[in-house]
A and B are shown apart, each in its own frame.
Chain A
Amino acid sequence: MIQKQDFKKISQNLWEIPKEFSPEMRTPARIYASEEMLTKILEDRSVNQLINTASLPGIEKHSMAMPDIHEGYGFPIGGVAGIDTKTGVISPGGVGYDINCGMRILLSPLQEKEITKYIEKLSQEIQESVPSGLGKGRKTKTDISFLNKILQKGSQALVEKGYGDQEDIENCESKGRMESADPSTVSDRAKQRGRDQIGTLGSGNHFIEIQKVEKIFDEQAAKEFGIFQNQVAVMFHTGSRGLGHQVATDYIKEMMKAMNKYKIQLPDRELACAPFNSPEGQRYFSAMSAAANYAWANRQMIAYHIKKSWEKTIGKEKPTPLYDVAHNIAKKENHNNKELIVHRKGATRAFPPNHPEIPEKYKKKGQPVLIPGSMGTGSYILKGTEQGKESWHSTCHGAGRAMSRKQAIKTISGQEIIRELKGKGILIKSKSNKGVAEEAPQAYKDIDQVVEIVHQANLSKKVAKLIPLAVIKGD
Chain B
Amino acid sequence: MKYKQIDHPADIKVRVFGKTKKEIFLNALKALNDILEPEIEEKQTQEEIELESTSIENLLIEFLNEALYFTETKKEIYQDIDFKEFNDEKIKATLYGQAAKEFKQEIKAATYHELEFKKQDDQYQTTILFDI
Contact = CB atoms under 8 A, between A and B. Distances in A.
Interface in B1-41: 5, 7-12, 36
Interface in B68-100: 69, 71-73, 75
B72 A134 contact: yes
A268 B9 contact: no
B9 A402 contact: yes
Given A98-B108, A253-B62, A72 B10 contact: yes
A248 interface: yes
Interface residues of A, number: 45
Residue of B10, B62, B113 contacting most chain A CB atoms (<10 Å): B10
10 contacts: A73-B131, A134-B72, A192-B73, A203-B106, A245-B108, A253-B53, A253-B62, A269-B57, A269-B114, A405-B132
Contact of A71 (B10, B104, B108): B10
Contacts of A133: 102-103, 106
B62 A134 contact: no
B53 to A, nearest CB: 8
B46 interface: no
A270 B112 CA distance: 5
B115 to A, nearest CB: 6
Contacts of A61: none
Interface size class of B (residues with CB under 8 A): 35 or more
A73 B69 contact: no
A453 to B, nearest CB: 19
A193 interface: yes
Contacts of A204: 106, 132
B113 A70 contact: no
A285 interface: no
Contacts of B107: 134
A371 B113 CA distance: 27
A28 B107 CA distance: 33
B7 A407 contact: yes
A73 B11 contact: yes
Contact of B111 (A192, A193, A270): A270
Interface string B111-132: 1111100000000000001011
Given A73-B131, A270-B113, 7 more contacts: A72-B10, A135-B72, A193-B72, A204-B132, A246-B69, A252-B112, A432-B104
Given A70-B10, A401-B9, A256 B129 contact: no
Contact of A406 (B5, B73, B112, B113): B5
B65 A405 contact: no
A401 B114 CA distance: 21
A135 B5 contact: no
Given A72-B11, A73-B129, A404-B8, A249 B72 contact: no
Nearest to A239: B108
B132 A268 contact: no
B131 A404 contact: no
Given A97-B131, A257-B54, A404-B9, A135 B75 contact: yes
A436 B25 CA distance: 32
B56 interface: no
Smallest CB-CB A-B distances: 4 pairs: A73-B113, A134-B106, A269-B112, A97-B108
Nearest to B65: A249
Contacts of A135: 71-73, 75, 103, 106
B114 A268 contact: yes
Contacts of B54: 256-257, 260
Given A97-B108, A134-B105, A253-B62, A269 B10 contact: no
Given A193-B72, A249-B65, A401 B10 contact: yes
Residue of A202, A245, A403 contacting most chain B CB atoms (<10 Å): A245
Nearest to B110: A249
Contacts of B58: 253, 256, 269
B7 A202 contact: no
A441 interface: no
Contacts of B111: 73-74, 97, 270
A338 interface: no
A5 B60 CA distance: 39
Contacts of A435: 104
A404 B7 contact: yes
A176 interface: no
A247 B111 CA distance: 13
Nearest to B36: A134
A246 B131 CA distance: 12
Contacts of A136: 102
A193 B68 CA distance: 11
Contacts of B7: 404, 406-407
A248 B103 contact: no
Nearest to B12: A405
Interface string A44-58: 100000000000000
B9 A44 contact: yes
A245 B9 contact: no
B113 A245 contact: no
A133 B104 CA distance: 7
Nearest to B62: A253
A403 B9 CA distance: 5
Given A133-B103, A434-B104, A245 B112 contact: no
Nearest to A74: B113
Contacts of A189: 69, 73
Contacts of B131: 73, 96-97
A74 B75 CA distance: 29
A248 B109 contact: yes
B115 A269 contact: yes
